[in-house]
Structure 1
Amino acid sequence: MSVPSPPAVPYHATAQRPAWPSLPARLRAAVAARLGAPVVQARTAGAGFTRGFAALLHTADGHRAFVKAAPQAEQPHLVDWYAREAAILTRLPAGLPAPRPRWTLWEAGWYVLCLDPVDGRTPRLPWDQTELTATLTAFAGVAEALADPPAELTALGLPHLADLARDDILWWGEVAAGREPAPPLPAPASGRLADLVTLESRLPGYAVTTGLTHGDLRVDNVLIDTAGSVWFCDWPWLCHGPAWFDLVTLLITGYAAGLDVDALFAAHPAASSAPDDALDVTLAALAGYHLTAATSAPPTASVHLPAHQRWTGEQALAWLCQRQGWA
């Protein structure tokens, strides 16, 4: 069992976003017009690692809405993510705990996505047992609903995790080939590069499935509302892939808290059909991805992103070393 290791920056305070008053006046007027009343309060979202606008807006007539916005000129990738998320959320099966879109608009060179509001917060870390149980239970329901997704959702041409792995996730092979600098490794992983390459190389073959999974299930994409219900946010990375991959990304924070995450993984319905070494394969891939990505951050990302990636990579690698008996 690991010694508790908190993230370098609390997940509720990782974002660097523009404030509502700093948005173009024409954009603010257009948003207020669509909301039907002037905006009297804006609570900026503190979680996340982009620099896009994201806030819970309160209007003069007492209504609320969650609004995301990004400028096409400076953040075209973020505009694409928001537009993709809008298309996905519209087509998710009914009843899933995901905020639903209300409308989108273009104004003053900005793309805006308006969602139903969720009055919630990121889970407490180290994990509160009640919140962890609720989150894992809610994710089991999501995984079951997306195992046989509706045709209107798959018609969007969603990516496949197997391809994403080959293109962007598997980095130990690049390190071994000398095409990527080797990140600092702790003593237990020193001299294990060949083992890491072998493990991560199995991920594309394991990830082939017709089912869908969230694709980015970090703790900052989970909200606990005032009633204790769990909501999953930020859906632009929905992809064809096994739900156990997202289960691993979520449980990394549990490993850091010293929980018996091996048992939690094995007992979860999403892992019922996982290959025997799926957990190790995923940990190896995630460790390589995050540790190599931590060396720099794009200018459109929060300055806290490298610290998050370094911490995540270190925890994934430590969990893997523990499981493999590397000392």
Structure 2
Amino acid sequence: MAEISLPPVPYDATALRPAWARLPAALRDAVAARLGAPPTAVRVAGAGFTRGFAAVLESADGSRVFLKAASLTDQRHLADWYFREAEILGRLPVGLPVPRPRWALTEAGWYAVCLDAVDGRTPALPWEPAALTATLAAYAELAAALAAPPAELVALGLPHLADLARDDILWWGEVAAAREPAPELPHWATTRLPELAALESRLPGYAAPATGLIHCDLRVDNVLVDAGGRAWVCDWNWLCHGPAWFDLAGLLITAYASGLDADAAFAAHPAAVGAPPDALDVTLAALAGYYLTAAAAGPSDASAHLRPHQRWSGERALDWLAVRQGWR
């Protein structure tokens, strides 16, 4: 197990989002009309790395909803993500620990989607064992439900992890071939580029046979744990075909950083059943390269906390992999 390592900024305080009052008045009026009255309280979400609006809106009667909104001109990619997420959430099987969509609207050049509000909090790091257990249980439920995905979800034409890996996730081979600048690495890692490239290169082949669906962005900041101890998984715009063990490995990077036995948690989880023996190492290699090269890519127009968190995540994935491989 690793020593405890905390991220540079807590995951519930990484977002830089506009306040409710900064949204166009016509958009606020349109939302108020759908709610039946202007919200009496607005709690902007602190988790996440985009600059899109995201907040819990509370009405005078105590009812609450979660609203996401983005400009169709200045934030078109976010608006597209929110639209895609609404499509996906509306087709996920009923009863799963995911927020359900209520309505969507376009007004004043903005797109907004309203979801059920989850009365929960982003788990703090280091993970409390109970919160991690609840999150792993929620993902077991989700993975089982999506192993044979509903036809209405498949009809959306979702991407496949194997293709996403080739196009955007695998970077160690590029670094080893000097086609991509090398990120800052500990000395021992600079001699391991061939092994890192070889490990990550197996991911597309391992993922290709998978017909089930995975979240593909399962991180602690996309989880909420409610007052009853149930975990909910949010932010579903990256849903794709792939093996559930990929999500599991990505989630457990923060468990490793919390000093918990992440190896045992991976091995014991239903999502790891049938995984190739080196699936965890292959995923850690791929994610370490993805995070570290992204962190070295220069300033982002998203949250200023994005690059430091990518670097921290990449370092934790690489450290976990090194321990498993006996590299240090």
TM-score in terms of structure 1 length: 0.98
In 2, the alpha carbon distance for the partners of 1:226 and 1:182 equals 44
In the alignment, structure 1 residue 68 sits paired with structure 2 residue 39 = no
What CA deviation, in whole Å up to 9, does each residue of 1:142-192 have, x standing for no partner?
000000011011000001000000000000111112121001111332300
Does 298-307 or 229-238 show the bigger shift?
298-307
What CA deviation, in whole Å up to 9, does each residue of 1:17-76 have, x standing for no partner?
000011111110001001111111100000000000000001234321100000011111
Contact 2:300 2:307 in 1 (8 A): no
Paired residue secondary structure (1:70): strand
Q: Which residue number in structure 2 is paired with residue 312 of structure 1? A: 313
What CA deviation, in whole Å up to 9, does each residue of 1:196-247 have, x standing for no partner?
1100000001112110010100000000011111100000001000111010
Contact 1:290 1:313 in 2 (8 A): yes
What CA deviation, in whole Å up to 9, does each residue of 1:280-307 have, x standing for no partner?
0000000000000002366441010001
Q: Which residue number in structure 2 is paired with residue 42 of structure 1? A: 42
In 1, the alpha carbon distance for the partners of 2:117 and 2:207 equals 33
Q: Which residue number in structure 1 is paired with residue 85 of structure 2? A: 85
In 2, the alpha carbon distance for the partners of 1:298 and 1:111 equals 26
In 1, the alpha carbon distance for the partners of 2:199 and 2:70 equals 38
Contact 1:37 1:61 in 2 (8 A): no
Q: 5+ residue gaps in structure 1?
A: none
Which residue identity lines up with residue 252 of structure 2 in the other structure?
Answer: L
Q: Which residue number in structure 2 is paired with residue 213 of structure 1? A: 214
Q: Which residue number in structure 1 is paired with residue 145 of structure 2? A: 145
Cα deviation for residue 119 of structure 1 reads 1.1
In 1, the alpha carbon distance for the partners of 2:33 and 2:296 equals 43
Q: Which residue number in structure 1 is paired with residue 251 of structure 2? A: 250
- After superposition, residues 19-168 of structure 1 pair within 5 angstroms as 19-168=19-168
Which residue identity lines up with residue 290 of structure 1 in the other structure?
Answer: Y
Q: Which residue number in structure 2 is paired with residue 2 of structure 1? A: 2
In 1, the alpha carbon distance for the partners of 2:61 and 2:144 equals 39
Paired residue secondary structure (2:90): helix
Q: Which residue number in structure 2 is paired with residue 323 of structure 1? A: 324
Cα deviation for residue 272 of structure 1 reads 0.7
In 2, the alpha carbon distance for the partners of 1:298 and 1:96 equals 37
Cα deviation for residue 114 of structure 1 reads 0.2
Which ranges of 4 or more aligned residues in structure 1 deviate by more than 3 Å? 296-300
In 1, the alpha carbon distance for the partners of 2:231 and 2:255 equals 17
Structure 2 vs 1, CA of residues 91 and 308 (structure 1 numbering), >3 Å: closer, same or farther? same
In the alignment, structure 1 residue 286 sits paired with structure 2 residue 287 = yes
Which residue identity lines up with residue 285 of structure 1 in the other structure?
Answer: A
Q: Which residue number in structure 2 is paired with residue 259 of structure 1? A: 260
What CA deviation, in whole Å up to 9, does each residue of 1:242-281 have, x standing for no partner?
1110101110001111111111101100001110000000
Structure 2 vs 1, CA of residues 144 and 297 (structure 1 numbering), >3 Å: closer, same or farther? farther
Contact 1:188 1:321 in 2 (8 A): no
Which residue identity lines up with residue 56 of structure 2 in the other structure?
Answer: L
Contact 1:297 1:303 in 2 (8 A): no
Which residue identity lines up with residue 273 of structure 1 in the other structure?
Answer: G
Which residue identity lines up with residue 275 of structure 1 in the other structure?
Answer: P
Aligned residues: 327
Which residue identity lines up with residue 229 of structure 2 in the other structure?
Answer: G
RMSD: 1.0
Contact 1:214 1:237 in 2 (8 A): yes
Which residue identity lines up with residue 323 of structure 2 in the other structure?
Answer: Q
Q: 5+ residue gaps in structure 2?
A: none
In 2, the alpha carbon distance for the partners of 1:75 and 1:15 equals 15
Contact 1:75 1:300 in 2 (8 A): no
Contact 2:299 2:307 in 1 (8 A): no
Does 274-283 or 180-189 show the bigger shift?
180-189
Structure 2 vs 1, CA of residues 321 and 299 (structure 1 numbering), >3 Å: closer, same or farther? closer
Q: Which residue number in structure 1 is paired with residue 17 of structure 2? A: 17
Contact 1:297 1:305 in 2 (8 A): no
Q: Which residue number in structure 1 is paired with residue 238 of structure 2? A: 237
